[in-house]
């Protein structure tokens, strides 16, 4: 089967490698002359990395963590135990693209696809948040701005740091260490990131300032001979805005559909997968509505606890803690447990 993938970001390369592994010979078309990663916090879990058919990633993972730390107002913090990494995405993507070619894939660099019309066979749109393939498919997404500074600092981190504090972001801010460097960012505005960095006393030097677009809640990922993945599909996790795990799961689904001769089922199967769980809609809405006062009250319950090791009793206690209604809390807990498993 003739398969053309548009875009050699994580979406295109991971899907390409999975298709090669399944015995297909896809072609990737990439508009850049030399591959550069789009803006990313670069955080990824060991579980997700283990699902990517490129095993030589360790030299591109300058930082390893045993846990993520969630900081809440009032000085409270809680944890999620999970092995994760910060990647050096540009060299990692370049190494994956070399491997793709070595294993028999074809890669055309420096060609911008203007339209999917006229491309025969199966077309996989992996061309990011401003995708031409998504326009053809008629995919509608919600969008969030992400701003991030690359910093050099002697800051002492505690795992992958997530800050739930509405002073800076309606959603969250982060500090991810990266072997002496730091990716410091938030979902929202640059002026709030400046304030966050000042209040955290990060010091050090700002090496790079970037902002980009994060699409989520995609509505349609398939039309005629075109299917979408990654940011083109808007399958980034709505809660965490992590995109790489969803790409890996979508690639498995697409490969299975092609192998079984059931490409028409791609959208149905993808939307039935937990990466697209309906619980994220209410989960995100309630997460955004949380006030700092409510987050602080939650912090009192959760202080120093490991979220993915809470007992049934502890979960019930927080559910009926009157911080927010039990219904809201149920959605928040459900969406965050899916996010923990399927988003990074």
Ligand X SMILES: Cc1cc2nc3c(=O)[nH]c(=O)nc-3n(C[C@H](O)[C@H](O)[C@H](O)COP(=O)(O)OP(=O)(O)OC[C@H]3O[C@@H](n4cnc5c(N)ncnc54)[C@H](O)[C@@H]3O)c2cc1C
Contacts to ligand X by CB under 6 A: 6-12, 29-32, 38-44, 112-113, 126-128, 132, 146, 148, 185, 212, 214, 230-232, 236, 241-244, 344
Q: How far is the CB of 203 from ligand X (least distance, A)?
A: 22
**Token pair listed for 337:** 């447990």
Per the CB < 8 A criterion, the answer to whether 60 and 8 are in contact is no
Q: How far is the CB of 198 from ligand X (least distance, A)?
A: 19
**Token pair listed for 311:** 């007992």
**Token pair listed for 189:** 């505005």
Q: How far apart are CA 10 and CA 188, in angstroms?
A: 23
Nearer to ligand X, 123 or 202 (CB): 123
Q: How many Cβ atoms are within 10 Å of 189's Cβ, its own excluded?
A: 15
Using CB atoms within 10 A of its CB, is residue 10 exposed (0-12), middle (13-18) or buried (19+)? buried
Q: How far is the CB of 184 from ligand X (least distance, A)?
A: 10
Q: How far is the CB of 243 from ligand X (least distance, A)?
A: 2
Nearer to ligand X, 129 or 299 (CB): 129
Q: How far is the CB of 163 from ligand X (least distance, A)?
A: 14
Nearer to ligand X, 318 or 335 (CB): 335
Q: How many Cβ atoms are within 10 Å of 136's Cβ, its own excluded?
A: 18
Per the CB < 8 A criterion, the answer to whether 24 and 8 are in contact is no
Nearer to ligand X, 42 or 99 (CB): 42
CA geometry: angle 146, 147, 151, nearest 5 deg:
140
Nearer to ligand X, 16 or 73 (CB): 16
Q: Which residue is nearest to ligand X (CB)?
A: 243
Q: How far apart are CA 318 and CA 301, in angstroms?
A: 7
């Amino acid at each position: 089967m003739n398969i053309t993938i548009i875009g050699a970001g994580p979406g295109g390369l991971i899907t390409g490698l999975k298709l090669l592994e399944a015995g297909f010979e896809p072609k990737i078309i990439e508009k850049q002359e030399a591959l550069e990663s789009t803006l990313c916090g670069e955080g990824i879990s060991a579980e997700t990395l283990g699902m990517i058919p490129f095993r030589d990633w360790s030299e591109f993972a300058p930082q390893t963590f045993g846990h993520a730390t969630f900081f809440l107002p009032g000085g409270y913090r809680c944890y999620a135990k999970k092995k994760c990494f910060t990647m050096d995405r540009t060299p990692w993507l370049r190494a994956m693209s070399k491997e793709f070619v070595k294993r028999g894939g074809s890669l055309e660099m420096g060609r911008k696809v203007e339209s999917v019309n006229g491309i025969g066979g199966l077309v996989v749109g992996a061309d990011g948040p401003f995708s031409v393939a998504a326009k053809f498919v008629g995919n509608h997404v919600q969008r969030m701005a992400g701003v991030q500074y690359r910093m050099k600092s002697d800051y002492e981190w505690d795992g992958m740091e997530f800050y739930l504090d509405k002073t800076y972001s309606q959603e969250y801010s982060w500090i991810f260490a990266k072997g002496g460097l730091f990716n410091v960012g938030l979902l929202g505005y640059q002026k709030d990131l400046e304030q966050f960095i000042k209040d955290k006393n990060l010091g050090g030097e700002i090496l790079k300032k970037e902002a980009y677009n994060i699409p989520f809640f995609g509505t349609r990922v398939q039309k005629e001979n075109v299917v979408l993945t990654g940011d083109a599909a808007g399958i980034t996790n709505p809660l965490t805005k992590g995109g790489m795990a969803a790409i890996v799961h979508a690639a498995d689904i697409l490969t299975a559909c092609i192998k079984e001769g059931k490409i028409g089922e791609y959208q149905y199967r993808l939307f039935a997968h937990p990466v697209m769980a309906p619980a994220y809609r209410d989960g995100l809405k309630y997460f955004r509505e949380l006030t700092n006062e409510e987050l602080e009250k939650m912090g009192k319950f959760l202080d120093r606890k490991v979220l993915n090791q809470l007992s049934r009793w502890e979960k019930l206690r927080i559910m009926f803690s009157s911080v927010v209604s039990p219904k809201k809390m149920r959605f928040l807990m459900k969406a965050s447990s899916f996010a923990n498993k399927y988003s990074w």
